[in-house]
Amino acid sequence: MHVRPRIDQAAKLADVLLTPGGVAAARAGRPFSLSAFRLVSQVRRRFGAPATVVDVGANKGQFSRAAATAFPGCRLVAFEPLEAVAAEWRANLADVPGAEIHVCALGGEDGTVAFHPHEYSLSSSVLPLVAGAGAEGGGGAGELAPVEVPVRRLDDVLADEELRGPVLAKLDVQGYELEVLRGAAGTLRRVDALVVELAFEQHYEGQPLFTDLLGALAESGFALDVPIDVRRDETGTVVEMDGLFLPAR
């Protein structure tokens, strides 16, 4: 009998049941992610409802779905480097009017880059994993063969786009945050709230850590408002968290 997976499933179900609004959100559409639901719930409490959501590192649509559920009528603009994963995003968000996804990585300049996909797709990154590091969420999936993907600057992609405000941007790119920010200076001036994944230890080669990103975001005019969804290792040490950033006063 595989006891541990059943315990994990029971814990996840309890989390959904104990999170206000969790059951309704789980029924609203797929894919459902409790952490993404908590993120958008905190954004709604601290910031309000955005009219436009820019989802950088969209994967299969976990955050996009949570945003579409929490902020009905918002416009979704997503970015995902892997075509196969982007196809799942399209299928999952097909019921959301006007939702669009760009199949590319984002960085500091246009071109191509060797991208490191993973069996557990949430761990895929431009950067290779540090030796011995596990996949995000504790998964044991390993790196697959690198593939070439296009890289665009966010400023170039959105230069001619009307982003109706307020604008919420979410950045979850597994260690490539500084490069994305380097190509997004103009876009950030149009953003009213920003959700960023922050690491306290390196899982990827050259990955910026909490203080690095805090400084870079301060230079871009944003300050940490509140931490959301703090994640700990088996010893209780904080290894990752998502942070809500608002324009510095």
Average pLDDT over residues 193-213: 95
Q: What is the mean pLDDT of residues 88-101?
A: 96
220 confidence band (pLDDT: 50, 70, 90): very high
226 lies in which domain range? 3-247
Mean pLDDT of the chain: 87
Instruction: Say how many domains are in the chain.
Output: 1
* Runs of H (alpha helix) within 29-101: 34-46, 62-70, 83-92
| Mean pLDDT confidence for 185-201 | 96
Q: Around 4, how many Cα atoms within 13 Å sit in the side-chain half-sphere?
A: 0
In the predicted structure, residue 203 carries a pLDDT above the cut 60:
yes
What does the alpha-carbon distance between residue 114 and residue 61 come to, in Å, rounded to a whole number? Answer: 23
CATH assignment at residue 85 = 3.40.50.150
Q: Is the pLDDT of residue 137 over 90?
A: no
Examine residue 31 and say whether the peptide bond preceding it is cis (omega within 30 degrees of 0): yes
Query: What per-residue confidence (pLDDT) applies to 249?
Result: 75
Answer yes or no: are the C-beta atoms of 166 and 50 closer than 8 Å. yes
Mean pLDDT along residues 167-173: 97
Q: What is the pLDDT of residue 1?
A: 37
pLDDT score for 5: 40
Does residue 22 have a pLDDT over 60?
Answer: no
Query: How confident is residue 24, by pLDDT bands cut at 50, 70 and 90?
Result: low
* Out of 46-50, 83-87, 136-140, 145-149, least confident range: 136-140
Distance CA 146, CA 113 (A): 9
How confident is the model over 222-235, as pLDDT tens digits? Answer: 999 999 888 888 88
Over range 88-99, report the average pLDDT: 96
> With 60 as the cut, is the pLDDT of residue 13 above it?
no
At residue 133, the pLDDT reads: 66
Statement: residue 39 has pLDDT above 50: yes
pLDDT of residue 18: 46
For 123, counting Cβ atoms within 10 Å of its Cβ (0-12 exposed, 13-18 middle, 19+ buried), the class is: buried
- What's the pLDDT score for residue 27? 59
**Structure confidence at residue 69 (pLDDT):** 94
Q: What is the pLDDT of residue 3?
A: 40
Burial class of residue 54 (count of CB atoms within 10 Å of its CB; 0-12, 13-18, 19+):
buried
The more confident residue out of 135 and 100 is 100
Write out the DSSP string of 179-192.
HHHHT-HHHHTT-S
